[in-house]
A and B are shown apart, each in its own frame.
Chain A
Amino acid sequence: MNKTVLTMLMTQVGSPFVLPKAMLPLSIDELLARVRTQYADTIHTHGIELRT
C-alpha cells in the first residue's frame, strides 16, 4: 500500500522527493541556494540540472 501511495504521489508531483516548506526552519530558496553553493562541484560532476 505504501508503494502504491508513493507511486501515486510521484505521478502527481513528478518527483520522488518533496520537502514541504512548512517543515523547514529556512526558506526553500535558502536551502536550494545552500545546496547549490556548497555542492556546486558535485552538481557539476554529476551533470545535475539546476532549474530556475
Chain B
Amino acid sequence: MNCNNVRELILTDFSDNELSPDKQKMLETHLATCLACRNLAAGIKECSGVLSGAERISLDRDKIWQRIVAEIDAEKTSSVIYEPVRGVSVWEKLFAAVKPAYVLASLGLVILLTSFVVRRPPVVTVQLQEKEEEVQYLAYVIDQFAADESEGDNLGTSIEEYFL
C-alpha cells in the first residue's frame, strides 16, 4: 500500500469503520511505519471526535408544534372556504350569467332566418316578372320594327301607287 492510497482511505472508510477487517489490518500495518499517514489519521480522529461529541441541539418542541398545528388549521380553513367554489368552474358561472343573452340571440336568429325564407319567393317573382316584361318589351320592339318596315314598303308602294 502506498501513501496516496492510504491517504484516501484514512479520509473516508478507515476513519468511519467501513473497511473490511483484512483491509483495516493492512492499513494499520502501514500506519505503524508511516508518520505522515499516522498524523493524518490522528487529525481526522480529532475532528470526528469533536463532531461526535457535540451536544444535540434541542429547539422548543412545543412552540414549534403549536405553529405546525396553526398552519395545518389554516390550510384546512382555506380549503373549506374554497370548496363551494371548486364545484362550479369559471366557465360554468360565465355561461349561467349570459344564458338569457343566448336565448335572445337564438330567437333573433330564428326570426331572421324565417323572414329570409318568407321574403325570398317575391323577390324571385319580381325577377321573373321583370324578365317577362323584358321579353314582352323586346317582342313589342321587334313587332314595331317589323311593322315599321312593312309600313315603309307599303308607303312606297302606296306612293307609287298614288302617282301611278
A and B are partners in one complex rather than unrelated chains: no
Chain A interface residues (CB < 8 Å from chain B):
none
Chain B residues at the A interface, C-beta cutoff of 8 Å: none
